[in-house]
C-alpha cells in the first residue's frame, strides 16, 4: 500500500509560512494514498511559479518545465505511456496567461490527465503582478491605479472549450480538496481543478478569511451533468463562489482517437536507449 512518506524527498518546500500551497500538497498526497497510486506510477509536470516549486518536494516522475507549458508536456507523457497517472500543475498566471493557448486546446482534446491550478489571483513568484484572474480595479505591483482588464473565468472557459471534469476547491479545506483530487484522478478525460490558494505574503485582499467568507459548498444533489447550470455556476464570483464538482461529462479522450495507442504503451514498444551520453552534453 502506498504511504504519504513514499512521496517525500530530502528537500523542504521554500514557500512562505502559511502559504496555501502547503494544503494543496498535503491533499494531493492523501488522495494518492487513498487511490493507492505509488510514486513510480505518477507523472507530475510542473509549471514555473511559487506553486511549481513543489516539484522539489514530490518524489515521483517529475518534470519542471517552462512557464505556461506543463499541459503539452503532460499530454506527450500520457500518449507515450498511458499507464502513468499524469497530473499537471500551474498557477493562475501560467494557466491563463502564458499557457492560455495550451489550456484551450487541452480542453478541446479531452486529454486524459488532471490539471491543478493554484489560484491565488496574482503572479506571485515575480512578487505580485496582476494575473488574468485579478479582479478589475485591483491595485497590484503592475497595476498601481487598478487592474484595467476584466478577469477571466477559468472554469467557464474550461466548460465551453470542452473539459469534461470541472471543479473548485479550497487549499485550506484539506479533507474536501483531497476528495476532489480523488474524483479528478478517477475521471477519464481532462479534469480541471481550480484551487483557491491564499498567498499570505502578497495578496492581502483574497486572504484565507476572504475565501472562507466568499465561498459555499455546492449542494449534494447538484446535477453536475447540467451544462447550462454549470456555466452559470462557473461564472459566479462577485457574490459567493461555488466549491465542488461543477461539471462532469463523458466523451472520448484524445487517446481514443489514435489506433496506434491500442496495445502496449509506446514506451514499451521502442528500444530502450541509453541517454546518459546525450544528457552529458547539457551538463
Ligand X SMILES: Cc1ncc(C[n+]2csc(CCOP(=O)(O)OP(=O)(O)O)c2C)c(N)n1
Find the shortest distance in angstroms from Cβ 25 to ligand SF4: 11
Pick the binder of ligand X from 24, 44, 50, 88 (CB under 6 A). 50
Binding mask 72-91 for ligand X (x = CB under 6 A): ------------------xx
Among residues 24 and 243, whose Cβ is nearest to ligand X? 24
Question: Binds 190, which of ligand X, ligand SF4, none (CB < 5 to 8 A, cut-off by type)?
Answer: none
For residue 16, the partner it binds in ligand SF4, ligand X, none, with Cβ less than 5 to 8 A by kind, is: ligand SF4
Site string for ligand X, 9-48 (x = CB under 6 A): ---------------------------------------x
Q: State how far the Cα of 111 lies from the Cα of 75, in Å rounded to an integer.
A: 7
Cα four-point dihedral sign 105, 248, 52, 19: positive
> Widest CA span of the chain, in angstroms?
58
- Shortest Å distance, C-beta 194 to ligand X: 12
- Least separation in angstroms between CB 250 and ligand SF4: 35
Taking Cα atoms as reference points, which of 95, 117, 94, 91 lies closest to residue 104? Answer: 95
Residue 87 · residue 114 · CB < 8 Å: yes
Q: What b-and-e string marks burial along 64-80, b requiring 16 or more CB atoms within 10 Å of the CB?
A: bbebbbbbbbbbebbbe
Q: Does 92 bind ligand X (CB under 6 A)?
A: yes
CB 177 within 8 A of CB 196: no
CB of 201 to ligand SF4, least distance (A): 4
CA quadruple 242, 243, 249, 251: dihedral sign: positive
The partner in contact with residue 15, picked from ligand X, ligand SF4, none with C-beta cut-offs of 5 to 8 angstroms by kind, is ligand SF4
Nearest CA among 145, 163, 168, 151 for reference residue 246: 168
Question: Nearest distance from residue 18's CB to ligand SF4, in Å?
Answer: 7
Sort strands 42-46 and 61-64 into parallel, antiparallel or unpaired.
parallel
Kindly identify the residues of this chain, within the stretch 104-163, that bind ligand X according to CB under 6 A: 118, 120, 122-126, 131
Q: 131 is in the binding site of which of ligand SF4, ligand X, none (Cβ under 5 to 8 A by kind)?
A: ligand X
Give whichever of 67 and 168 is closer to ligand X, judged by the CB atom.
67
Specify the residue, 140 or 224, whose C-beta has the smaller distance to ligand X: 140
Residue ranges in contact with ligand SF4 by CB under 6 A: 15-16, 19, 21, 50, 120, 124, 199-202
Name, in order, each residue with C-beta under 8 angstroms of 41's C-beta and a sequence gap of 6 or more: 83, 84, 85
Cell digits of residue 37: 497510486
What is residue 29's DSSP assignment?
H
Handedness of CA 180, 182, 187, 193 (dihedral sign): positive
Binding residues for ligand X, rule: CB under 6 A, are 48-51, 67-68, 90-94, 98, 118, 120, 122-126, 131
Amino acid at each position: 500500500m502506498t504511504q504519504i512518506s513514499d512521496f517525500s524527498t530530502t528537500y523542504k518546500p521554500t514557500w512562505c509560512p502559511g502559504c496555501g500551497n502547503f494544503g494543496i500538497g498535503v491533499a494531493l498526497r492523501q488522495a494518492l494514498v487513498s487511490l493507492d497510486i505509488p510514486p513510480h506510477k505518477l507523472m507530475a509536470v510542473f509549471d514555473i511559479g511559487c506553486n511549481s516549486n513543489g516539484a522539489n518536494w514530490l518524489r515521483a516522475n517529475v518534470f519542471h518545465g517552462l512557464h505556461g507549458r506543463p499541459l503539452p508536456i503532460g499530454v506527450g507523457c500520457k500518449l507515450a505511456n498511458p499507464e502513468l497517472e499524469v497530473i499537471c500543475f500551474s498557477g493562475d498566471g501560467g494557466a491563463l496567461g502564458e499557457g492560455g493557448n495550451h489550456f484551450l486546446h487541452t480542453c478541446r482534446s479531452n486529454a486524459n490527465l488532471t490539471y491543478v491550478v493554484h489560484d491565488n489571483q496574482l503572479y506571485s513568484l515575480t512578487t505580485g503582478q496582476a494575473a488574468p484572474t485579478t479582479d478589475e480595479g485591483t491595485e497590484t505591483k503592475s497595476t498601481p491605479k487598478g487592474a484595467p482588464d476584466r478577469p477571466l473565468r477559468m472554469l467557464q472557459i474550461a466548460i465551453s472549450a470542452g473539459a469534461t471534469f470541472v471543479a473548485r476547491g479550497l487549499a485550506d479545506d484539506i479533507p474536501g480538496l483531497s476528495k476532489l483530487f480523488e474524483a479528478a484522478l478517477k475521471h477519464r478525460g481532462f479534469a480541471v481543478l481550480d484551487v483557491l490558494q491564499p498567498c499570505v505574503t502578497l495578496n492581502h485582499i483574497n486572504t484565507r478569511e476572504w475565501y472562507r467568507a466568499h465561498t459555499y459548498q455546492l449542494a449534494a444533489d447538484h446535477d453536475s451533468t447540467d451544462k447550462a447550470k454549470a456555466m452559470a455556476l462557473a461564472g459566479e464570483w462577485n457574490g459567493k463562489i461555488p466549491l465542488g464538482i461543477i461539471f462532469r461529462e463523458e466523451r472520448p479522450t484524445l487517446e481514443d482517437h489514435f489506433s496506434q495507442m491500442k496495445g502496449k504503451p509506446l514506451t514499451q514498444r521502442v528500444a530502450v536507449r541509453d541517454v546518459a551520453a546525450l544528457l552529458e552534453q547539457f551538463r
